[in-house]
Amino acid sequence: MEQLTVDLGARSYPILIGDGLIRSIGEHVAPLLKRPRTMIVTDTHVADHYLVPLGTALAMENISFSSFVLEPGEATKSWAGLARLTDWLIGEGVERSDHVIALGGGVIGDLVGFACSIVKRGCHFIQVPTTLLAQVDSSVGGKTAINVAAGKNMIGAFHQPALVVIDPATLATLPRRDLAAGYAEVIKYGLIDDADFFAWCEAHGEALLAGDSAARHKAIAHSVAAKARIVAADERETQDIRALLNLGHSFGHALEAETGYSDRLLHGEAVAAGMALAHRFSAAQGLCSAADADRVAAHLAVVGLPHDLASAGVDADGATLAAHMAHDKKVRGGKLPLILTRGIGRSFVTDEFGLDVVAAFLDGEQHR
């Protein structure tokens, strides 16, 4: 088992990584509890595989639990889902000192984290992420949210978990498409500030997706360490440090909006295409070499991820996509900060480019 720490003073917490960890989770949870009781929240897909092993591991430490199983999918991260979950928690007699366990992907993690930030003015929660995306990204850092009519993740809070338990063996049951989408966020850490790690991804990405457990462990530990570092330096994204995690996300957000946040394009797939576009835009502005932009697109293509508008299944003009970007919640004073790059591993934040420039670039991409 490997242990990392998110260093946030009194709110610091450990991240544990190890194959099979779910089956011994009780010993890591027990020391946190004021009373030997917890509540597990998950979705039906994840419950089928991991609710029994998790519950058994808690019972081994004499921790009693109840469980709430939600429908899988982004629609669960809604006002309705939040109301059902908070009603259930209150019905279960949740106390402020209790720890609720979020067992699942980013949808469950975001929803449970938000519910725990508000129920009885806040209780604790533990992340047990079961998708690659959640294991390398969403389970760490304390961003929690639901989606509303006005947009994705528009209502939420910063609420850090008390513990993150990552069991990479759970990825064995994850559909290949979700696995690849999560892998896009792995590549992201290389592109942000770690060219060596991007090179590692080029060498090991296909093995990782095919099931190589050493490659999975290394990618998860490396990604989570990077995220923990960034979160510790800029917890609430008030400086430009945490904003770097949005590499590929402003372009990606436009693609998700254009495809209706549907199964047509998963979040990680949109981020993949968005990272390729951010590099091509940077090359078009003379900030990075065309060779670097091509290298990024080539790796995404090799692992079967979208790497331009066409492979993302988006046929929209620049003005349409730029209009989606204008609704991004990161817009500040009418300007959208973009994460651009001076080369692989050399990303930076800028609001130097207007959306008209971005729209013209995307027009060119549509007819590439």
Candidate ranges 25-33, 62-70, 137-145, 308-316; the one touching ligand NAD (CB under 6 A) = 137-145
Neighbour count for residue 1 (Cβ, 10 Å): 12
Residue 142 tokens read as: 């304390």
Choices 102-110, 301-309, 319-327, 357-365; region in contact with ligand NAD by CB under 6 A? 102-110
- Does 328 help bind ligand NAD (rule: CB under 6 A)? no
Q: Residue 45, interface with ligand NAD (CB under 6 A)?
A: yes
Q: How far is the CB of 354 from ligand NAD (least distance, A)?
A: 27
Catalytic residue among 99, 124, 143, 216: 143
The SS3 call for residue 8 is: coil
Token representation of residue 82: 């939040």
Q: Which two tokens stand for residue 179?
A: 């696995």
Q: Are 19 and 246 in contact (CB under 8 A)?
A: no
Is 237 in the active site? Answer: yes
Rounded Cα distance between 200 and 202, Å, is 5
CA–CA separation, 349 vs 241, rounded Å?
9
143 part of the interface to ligand NAD, by CB under 6 A: yes
Kindly determine how many residues on this chain lie close enough to bind ligand NAD according to the rule CB under 6 A: 28
Q: Tokens for 134?
A: 């959640």
Instruction: Read off the amino acid at residue 280.
Output: R
92 classed as catalytic: no
In whole angstroms, the minimum distance from the beta carbon of 135 to ligand NAD comes to 9
Among 38, 127, 160, 170, binds ligand NAD (CB under 6 A): 170
Among 16, 29, 40, 77, binds ligand NAD (CB under 6 A): 77
User: How many Å from the N-terminal Cα to the C-terminal Cα in the chain?
Assistant: 47
Alpha-carbon Rg of the chain, whole angstroms? 20
Smallest separation (angstroms) from ligand NAD to the CB of 101: 14
Is the Cβ–Cβ distance between 287 and 190 less than 8 Å? no
Q: Is 206 in the site for ligand NAD (CB under 6 A)?
A: no
**Binding residues for ligand NAD, per CB under 6 A?**
43, 45-46, 49, 72, 74, 77, 104-108, 110, 130-131, 133-134, 137-138, 141, 143, 152-153, 170, 173-174, 178, 267
